[in-house]
Each structure stands twice: as structure tokens, then as C-alpha cells.
């Protein structure tokens, strides 16, 4: 069955996707920065490297988001809510004078908040993510 989803995505979706991928790249940089700051502490360094696993999950969700998956849009909103408590650690990073790490964390989170706002509330984006309606079945012809 052919999809009736309009291609390409509207400008608002393309902007939000660029924002998400930018924040994703920023997260990758943040992981490297944190590893460099914590490499003398083996437990913290290995925990930092384990952060690549959620980054890969985000990449998969972003891939499907770019293909118009409404489930991916909802999953990304849930992931964003689940990441909110992590902003508490930004205050810890500031108190430990890890200002670059704290700034990258906060900026990346704010970019994601703005992008999910576009994906959820921009009319063009909402229309694009709506599942295509299936046409009603034609009645069987009687002979």
C-alpha cells in the first residue's frame, strides 16, 4: 500500500530534525569532553563511555522520525521528559567548575525542547506526522 505522506517533509519538520541532529552531535561532543575530564577516574570514565548506548538509541529514533514515524515523535517526547532530571547534574557540573560540560548539557537539552515543541505543536508538522487515512473498503460487487 502506498503511503500518502507528503514528501519532502515541511520546512518546520526539516528545521526540527536539523535541531535534533545538532543536539545529538552536541551530546557526542559532551561524552568526549566528559571522558577527557574523567579519564583519571576509571569508574566515571567507563560510565561516560556507556553514554554512547543511549546516543545510538537516539540516532535510531531520529532516523525513524525523519521518515515520518509518529511513534518516533512520541518516543522522542518521552525520552525528553525522562532526560529532564538529568539537568540536575548540570548544577553539579557547575559546582565542580566543569562549565563547558554544564553548558553543553543545558544547550543540548534546550535545543531538544525547542525541536520537540515544533514537532508536536507546529500545524504543518502535526499534519505531516498524522498517519495516512486508509480509504474505506469498497463494497463487494454482487453478481
DSSP character string of 97-113: T-HHHHHHHHHHHHHHH
pLDDT at 60: 94
Identify the pLDDT of residue 31: 83
Query: What parts of the chain have a pLDDT lower than 50?
Result: 1-4
**Integer Cα distance of 128 and 115 in angstroms:** 15
State pTM to two decimals: 0.79
Query: What angle (nearest 5°) sits at the alpha carbon of residue 35, between those of residues 116 and 76?
Result: 15
Residue 100 CA to residue 28 CA, distance in Å, equals 14
DSSP string, 28-55: HHHHHHHHHHHTTSHHHHHHHHTTHHHH
Amino acid at each position: 500500500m502506498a503511503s500518502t505522506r507528503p514528501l519532502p517533509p515541511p520546512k518546520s519538520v526539516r528545521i526540527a530534525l536539523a535541531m535534533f541532529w545538532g543536539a545529538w552531535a552536541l551530546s557526542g561532543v559532551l561524552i568526549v569532553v566528559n571522558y577527557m575530564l574523567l579519564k583519571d577516574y576509571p569508574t566515571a570514565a567507563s560510565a561516560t563511555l556507556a553514554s554512547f548506548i543511549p546516543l545510538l538509541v537516539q540516532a535510531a529514533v531520529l532516523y525513524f522520525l525523519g521518515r515520518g514515524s509518529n511513534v518516533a515523535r512520541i518516543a522522542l517526547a518521552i525520552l525528553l521528559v525522562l532526560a529532564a532530571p538529568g539537568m540536575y547534574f548540570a548544577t553539579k557540573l557547575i559546582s565542580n567548575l566543569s562549565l563547558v560540560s554544564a553548558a553543553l548539557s543545558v544547550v543540548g537539552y534546550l535545543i531538544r525542547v525547542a525541536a520537540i515543541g515544533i514537532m508536536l505543536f507546529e500545524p504543518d508538522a502535526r499534519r505531516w506526522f498524522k498517519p495516512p487515512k486508509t480509504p474505506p473498503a469498497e463494497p463487494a460487487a454482487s453478481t
